[in-house]
Amino acid sequence: MTIEKKTYRSGPYQDFFTQGTLVGNVLYISGQIGIDQNGNTPASIIDQTKAAYSNLLDVLSQFGGNMDNVVDETFFVTDMDEFMSNAEAVYGAREKAYGSRPEVCQTIVEVTGLAFPELKIEIKCIAHL
Protein backbone atom coordinates (compact mmCIF):
# COMPACT_ATOMS: atom_id res chain seq x y z
CA MET A 1 0.00 0.00 0.00
CA THR A 2 1.41 3.37 -0.95
CA ILE A 3 0.62 6.71 0.59
CA GLU A 4 1.57 10.18 -0.53
CA LYS A 5 3.95 11.86 1.90
CA LYS A 6 5.48 15.29 1.84
CA THR A 7 8.51 15.68 4.07
CA TYR A 8 10.91 18.31 5.31
CA ARG A 9 14.45 17.57 6.41
CA SER A 10 16.83 19.91 8.20
CA GLY A 11 19.89 19.88 10.43
CA PRO A 12 22.66 17.39 11.09
CA TYR A 13 20.38 14.34 11.39
CA GLN A 14 18.44 14.84 8.20
CA ASP A 15 19.66 11.57 6.76
CA PHE A 16 18.00 9.73 9.61
CA PHE A 17 14.60 11.33 10.02
CA THR A 18 12.40 14.11 8.75
CA GLN A 19 11.49 17.15 10.81
CA GLY A 20 7.96 16.82 9.51
CA THR A 21 5.95 14.33 7.50
CA LEU A 22 2.64 15.38 5.99
CA VAL A 23 0.08 12.77 4.99
CA GLY A 24 -3.34 13.97 3.88
CA ASN A 25 -3.80 17.06 6.02
CA VAL A 26 -2.08 15.66 9.11
CA LEU A 27 1.42 16.93 9.79
CA TYR A 28 3.48 14.84 12.19
CA ILE A 29 6.45 16.75 13.57
CA SER A 30 9.60 15.42 15.23
CA GLY A 31 10.25 16.56 18.77
CA GLN A 32 11.71 20.07 18.55
CA ILE A 33 14.59 21.04 20.80
CA GLY A 34 16.06 24.33 21.94
CA ILE A 35 19.11 24.52 19.73
CA ASP A 36 19.00 27.83 17.92
CA GLN A 37 19.72 28.55 14.24
CA ASN A 38 23.42 29.10 15.04
CA GLY A 39 23.77 25.73 16.70
CA ASN A 40 23.87 27.15 20.21
CA THR A 41 21.88 25.75 23.10
CA PRO A 42 20.82 28.42 25.60
CA ALA A 43 21.18 27.43 29.26
CA SER A 44 17.73 28.31 30.58
CA ILE A 45 14.57 26.29 29.98
CA ILE A 46 12.83 29.54 29.05
CA ASP A 47 15.25 30.31 26.24
CA GLN A 48 15.27 26.68 25.12
CA THR A 49 11.47 26.85 24.91
CA LYS A 50 11.69 29.97 22.74
CA ALA A 51 14.22 28.30 20.44
CA ALA A 52 12.16 25.09 20.24
CA TYR A 53 9.06 27.05 19.17
CA SER A 54 11.14 28.96 16.65
CA ASN A 55 12.27 25.62 15.21
CA LEU A 56 8.70 24.34 15.28
CA LEU A 57 7.49 27.37 13.33
CA ASP A 58 10.21 26.74 10.77
CA VAL A 59 8.88 23.23 10.21
CA LEU A 60 5.27 24.35 10.02
CA SER A 61 6.11 27.12 7.55
CA GLN A 62 7.76 24.61 5.20
CA PHE A 63 4.33 23.09 4.74
CA GLY A 64 2.49 26.41 4.45
CA GLY A 65 1.33 26.21 8.03
CA ASN A 66 1.72 28.28 11.16
CA MET A 67 1.27 27.91 14.90
CA ASP A 68 -2.54 27.92 14.56
CA ASN A 69 -2.26 24.53 12.90
CA VAL A 70 -0.89 22.83 16.01
CA VAL A 71 -3.46 20.69 17.84
CA ASP A 72 -1.47 18.53 20.26
CA GLU A 73 1.74 19.06 22.24
CA THR A 74 3.79 16.74 24.41
CA PHE A 75 6.43 18.39 26.57
CA PHE A 76 9.27 16.11 27.60
CA VAL A 77 11.21 17.94 30.33
CA THR A 78 14.27 16.74 32.21
CA ASP A 79 13.49 18.55 35.47
CA MET A 80 9.84 19.01 36.41
CA ASP A 81 10.74 21.19 39.41
CA GLU A 82 12.69 23.55 37.18
CA PHE A 83 9.85 23.55 34.68
CA MET A 84 7.27 24.33 37.37
CA SER A 85 9.45 27.06 38.96
CA ASN A 86 9.68 28.72 35.55
CA ALA A 87 6.16 27.87 34.41
CA GLU A 88 4.98 31.46 34.16
CA ALA A 89 7.86 32.50 31.91
CA VAL A 90 7.75 29.26 29.89
CA TYR A 91 4.02 29.63 29.25
CA GLY A 92 4.58 33.30 28.50
CA ALA A 93 7.14 32.39 25.84
CA ARG A 94 4.75 29.76 24.50
CA GLU A 95 1.82 32.17 24.26
CA LYS A 96 4.07 34.68 22.52
CA ALA A 97 5.09 31.98 20.02
CA TYR A 98 1.42 31.21 19.32
CA GLY A 99 0.46 34.88 19.19
CA SER A 100 -2.60 34.21 21.34
CA ARG A 101 -3.93 31.66 23.83
CA PRO A 102 -3.09 28.27 22.28
CA GLU A 103 -6.12 26.13 21.37
CA VAL A 104 -3.92 23.10 21.89
CA CYS A 105 -3.94 20.19 24.28
CA GLN A 106 -0.84 19.34 26.22
CA THR A 107 0.82 16.51 28.08
CA ILE A 108 3.91 17.09 30.25
CA VAL A 109 6.17 14.34 31.56
CA GLU A 110 9.60 14.30 33.10
CA VAL A 111 12.16 12.05 31.42
CA THR A 112 15.74 11.36 32.37
CA GLY A 113 17.33 12.39 29.14
CA LEU A 114 16.91 13.94 25.74
CA ALA A 115 19.19 13.65 22.72
CA PHE A 116 21.90 15.86 24.25
CA PRO A 117 22.78 16.31 27.92
CA GLU A 118 22.28 20.09 27.85
CA LEU A 119 18.67 19.87 26.68
CA LYS A 120 15.93 20.65 29.19
CA ILE A 121 12.81 20.43 27.03
CA GLU A 122 11.65 18.73 23.86
CA ILE A 123 8.30 19.58 22.31
CA LYS A 124 6.54 17.01 20.15
CA CYS A 125 3.54 18.24 18.16
CA ILE A 126 0.89 17.14 15.74
CA ALA A 127 -0.62 19.73 13.41
CA HIS A 128 -3.48 19.66 10.92
CA LEU A 129 -3.31 21.79 7.79
The footprint of its own copies (CB under 8 A) covers 1-3, 5, 7, 15-21, 23-26, 28-31, 64-66, 68-69, 71-74, 76, 80, 84, 91, 94, 101-115, 122, 124, 126, 128-129
Q: What phi and psi values does residue 118 have, to the nearest 5 degrees?
A: -85, -5
**In the complex, least distance from residue 52 CB atom to its own copies, rounded to whole angstroms:** 12
**In the complex, least distance from residue 107 CB atom to its own copies, rounded to whole angstroms:** 4
Q: Which lies closer to its own copies via its Cβ, residue 42 or residue 71?
A: 71
Q: How many residues does the chain have?
A: 129
Q: Which lies closer to its own copies via its Cβ, residue 31 or residue 34?
A: 31
**In the complex, least distance from residue 40 CB atom to its own copies, rounded to whole angstroms:** 20
Q: What angle do CA 42, 7, 66 make, to 5 degrees?
A: 60
| Alpha carbon distance 121, 49 (integer Å) | 7
Q: Which lies closer to its own copies via its Cβ, residue 40 or residue 64?
A: 64
Q: Which lies closer to its own copies via its Cβ, residue 28 or residue 47?
A: 28
**In the complex, least distance from residue 35 CB atom to its own copies, rounded to whole angstroms:** 14
User: What sign for the dihedral angle of Cα 84, 88, 91, 93?
Assistant: negative
Residue 72 C-alpha from the chain's centroid: 11
Which string of DSSP letters, residue by residue, matches 25-42? Answer: TEEEEEEEES--TTS---
